[in-house]
Structure 1
């Protein structure tokens, strides 16, 4: 855990320390000559660098209003799911996490969501850093008088973004479920693959495609389930089906294998969990058409934003996706999506999987996630009842 998080450990409060957000000049970028900035968080005189911003990104954050924090609380939660969340990495039935609430000296509250999910690369340290940064930036956007997406992107605020429906495993979804989702306005429907055998899933996908409404497309997510040969067999059998993309197909992602697979199919392959593993070469010679960004896995909204801008600069598509966070983390991701890829169909319609939530439910209307119009992230805490499960389980 970062050292400043130790002062506001789980269930405790920090009343006297001073947690601030500043962007410091750190000299000129050696390649562009532009002024470099970095975000620094302070508690009681101590600091930690969380993200260096360069080029166009840094200009958007100059003059960020500072928010002096007078109190911070960690609020644990445990949210049961309506049904098991099945992927090739395992099954989730209960989502545990912690909300961070920062109170500022001007009476505002900033919120962050710490929801570790190690199977998807979201460990405790990154999830904590993500929550801390979100809460502080929430306060800064409120003080600037802007909705979070407008504050991040420097553009007029958006009212909504398109999202895909998330219906779980390919082997458990029904044609009636697909038809209902399409009737609700979802034009892209996401299904988890790599859960059953290759033959089972190819047969199921072909059967579903025969009943799919015209205009509806499928977004598949293998979560690194296949070998290169298995992925090739799957794509060969399904290349003519209405597939919009396949996320993270390979168990051992190699740029050359990914490029060969991408060249042979008409739909996008997307990098998700292996984003860090592929490293800088991903942007020098993109082997696939798309990246999927889970901000909590980066431990930072601002780092996620810079990755998105780098990807778009080399012609890659950008999708922001949920790490199955509560409504607090989901809203932060939605604002990021609106700032970096407002025309894309994002993977953020996951709130309906929860039997209860930490705050006011995220609204989905006609396949679009409605962004709060108020300043900041717009999270509205449900109160102590939202965290009651944490003490009972």
Structure 2
């Protein structure tokens, strides 16, 4: 047992990615069974202290997603700034917090206990705070040493602060069932946390990866682009929290233009390996999602009905975020386990499953949030993505294939 724990905590990404992939499978299994209970056949799983349909956003936004984010950022953040990797004393408490929080959350979800789920999120919050402490220490050291600033580092740090605030509002919702707290948490989690992190990492890493694998590739990642993304994400966040849904088409149209431009400039003009192309194809969901948001908002502004339910934001949640998780986690895991950098069958299966699940969720919105399509989206995810999560988990529980440390 001690040997296995030593392997899990041999590198910063291992415990956090382990928690992330387990949540990637187990939370979706719980959610799909819950949807089945609500829309197809009551089996009692959806009963609890509050509406079970409102629980999946907090656990996925503030438990599953940050596990992947911290697993990646704690690995690359020091390197971005030019400092040594974090040591075990720094990252073990963070990984441990997210693993413990996940176990508590699974118990709470199965038992329908909102208070216990709030405790689970608070445990994750402790790991979150610890990670922010180490990150700000690196950023201030950079300033003290007369280097930088590393704008990608500051951008990621700012987004993580928004995310921690969203986690706090989620805890308030779980303890009080305050609908306003739920709305603020979801808005902060989406437009202040999830999207800024993905855009920051994409802005930094996609051109870098492309420059290494695509012949004659011209790297394009201007800082003004990152700044504009923040401006319009914040504008969208404020409008959403303040209830100006009919004006969101302005910020959504701007974000569509920016992400579509990024996609066009980053798309390789020469042959590229599959491990890079999944990043591009996954990012393609970003302009699709913003186009849908802009369309719905403009229809509301113009005074005619055009309902898509929550399909537009799920194009971002499932389509973009899900695809990029598969792409980035596969790349980091292979590279840091001494394995060849190439998509394998299970990775392709999982990536395909995410695309099909996103399409099914959008169809559900088009059809008036039809519950059967919800269940189909979840079922496809479970069937096609779970084998990938099992393989990833096995890698985190075993030593590097090349015999090196880490």
TM-score by length of 1: 0.27
- Which structure has the highest helix share of the two? 2
- Which structure has the highest strand share of the two? 1
TM-score by length of 2: 0.26
